[in-house]
Structures are given as structure tokens and as C-alpha cells.
Homo-oligomer: A and B are copies of this chain.
Amino acid sequence: MQPEELIQGICDGKLRALAKAITLIESQRPEDQQATASILEAVLPRTGSSLRIGISGVPGAGKSTFIEAFGMYLLQQGKRVAVLAVDPSSQLSGGSILGDKTRMEELSRQECAFIRPSPSGETLGGVARKTRESMLLCEAYGFDVIIVETVGVGQSETAVASMVDFFLLLQLPGAGDELQGIKKGVMEIADGIVVNKADGDNVERARLAARQMENALHIMTPKSPSWTVPVELVSALHKSGMDLVWQMLQDYLEAMRASGEFEQKRKNQAVDWMWSTVMDNLKYAFSTHPKVAAALPELQRSVAEGVTTPGIAARKLLEVFRRPM
């Protein structure tokens, strides 16, 4: 299909066109990048009205069960839901999240839901870019809510938080050692926390975990002066508490829209994205410059061994980079 057909198909709500356009975004071929750019530019005016939600949590927190339960709840509210994923490990592992649609069997069978596994890519930057662009296509298509799941490898939470309106952290019942899985800085980027598996014998432990989260949140600087991060208990398995999560989101949106932070955050995210794309490209051009690439291993070793100062090594590399070839 030509870009024009794909654009028309997306605007007409043809799921096949959306899927094909996302495949184009995920392509590594240079000629596809031109087509991608023209599609994105064409659909851009139709984007921006969906709610963008990021979801993370340690392995075992029940992310896919939660997304399935929450997704079904949203469909019942008349919302159309797209689920994307950012998993920078997917190239190695063959896709550890959303790779297998049977993980969200019920949701994947629904007409108003769209589930897409993580794009692959050598770098988190590449995976994040593809997901951001796919998100725009899903918005143009008409999905009301876009959920972006992350496995939480390396900096993937930060990458996802920088592309969504609301970042939800899924936690497990229990406290202390069981919660050691909370990564540095992840609590700080959460806009809301949900303790999952708060069912049966777990309820007391879930309450304990919630209290401990609240204590920890209490001594951190709030992300926004207009919002106190709430902690809710849910059971994705029993599909209970989904209304609490939806209410949490509504409250958040209301507070952020009233203070003007919603709009401002989206603007900042777009400008930051532009800059990170520029810097990624510059770094790539630098590292793959033949003379830089030739000098780099030796200089990097000298710096690590303390034979050359980092500043002097950087200057040498920059001189090599700037010299006409």
C-alpha cells in the first residue's frame, strides 16, 4: 500500500491500514522512513485527544492480567483501547511482553481493542521512538485510551513516562524484601500506584504494602503541586477495583487540566522528544564516524586506566570528528 492509502485507511478506521503503517514505522529500511514521515505529518492534526497511560511493575506484579481487566473495564465504558509496549529486550528474548496475544486473550478478541507487541530495536531510544510514533497513529485512528506497557528494563520506565500523561506503577502485596524490586527513581515518576493481587489471604499484606508506599511517597517531593500520588488496592484476577483506577485517572486529569499542567506537560514532552532525537542522532553519527570509531577503543581504555583525562580524550575525539575527511 502507498502512504496515501494508509493515511486514508487510518482516518477511515481500517485496522489493517493501522497495522501496516505501524509495520512501516518499525521497519529498519531507509526508504520506509520517508513514507513514515509523510504518514505522521498527514495524521498529526487528528492526534492529541487520546488519554495516554504508562504501566510498569516488577515481573510477577500481574501487568498483563491487570491490563486485560482494566482494558475490558474501559471497553464497557464505551472507550476504544490500544495497548502498546516498550521492551528494549525484545530483540534478544524474541519479545517478552505482549509478544503472545494469548496473554490477554479476552481483550485481544474484542473489536474495539488493539494489542501490539513491542517493536524491536537495538536501543531503548529506537524502541521508544517507534512506540511514540505508533501511539500517534493509534490516536489518529480513534482509540480513546492508549496503554503503554513496559517491562522495566534499564531506563524503559523513564522513556515511557516521558511519552504518557499518567504513569501507573503496579505493586505486589507485602512489604520490605518483597518490594526490593522497586527500582531507583521509579516511585518518583509514578502518578499513581496500584497494589495488585489484593485478594484472599493477601488483603492484609496488600494494605501493609499500601501504607509503606504512602510513607515513602510522603518524604519525596511531589511531581506536581496539584497532585498527591494515590495508592489503591485492586485484584486484576477478580476484576475488582478497576473503577478505582479509572476514578484515579479522572481525578488526575481534572487536577492537571485545571492547573494547566496537562497542556504544558504535553508541550514539554514533544520538545524533549525532539531534542533527544537530535542528540541520539548526533551520538550515532559521532560513534560511527570511521575515524572516531577507530580512535575510540584506545582512548576509552586510556581514560578508564587514568592515563588520559576524560576532557583531553573528548577533545581529541571531537577534533577527529570535525576534521574534513
Contact = CB atoms under 8 A, between A and B. Distances in A.
Interface string A268-298: 1011011101110111011000000000000
Interface in A86-145: 129, 132-133, 136
Interface residues of A, number: 64
A78 interface: no
A13 interface: no
Contact of A37 (B182, B187, B307, B311): B311
Interface of A: 37, 40-41, 44, 47-48, 129, 132-133, 136, 175-176, 179-185, 187-188, 212-213, 215-216, 218-221, 223, 266-268, 270-271, 273-275, 277-279, 281-283, 285-286, 299-300, 303-315, 317-318, 322
B188 A185 contact: yes
A189 to B, nearest CB: 8
**A-B pairs, 3 with minimum CB distance:** A277-B314, A273-B310, A274-B310
A318 B277 CA distance: 10
11 contacts: A41-B309, A133-B311, A176-B219, A187-B220, A216-B219, A266-B306, A270-B304, A277-B310, A279-B282, A281-B318, A282-B318
Given A183-B221, A274-B300, A282-B282, 20 more contacts: A40-B312, A41-B309, A129-B311, A132-B310, A132-B311, A133-B311, A176-B219, A184-B220, A185-B185, A187-B219, A213-B219, A215-B215, A215-B216, A270-B310, A271-B304, A273-B303, A273-B310, A274-B299, A275-B314, A277-B315
A270 B275 CA distance: 25
A40 B325 CA distance: 29
Contacts of A277: 310-311, 314-315
A282 B283 contact: yes
A283 B176 CA distance: 43
Contact of A136 (B136, B213, B286, B309): B309
B48 A278 contact: no
B179 A219 contact: yes
Contacts of A315: 37, 277
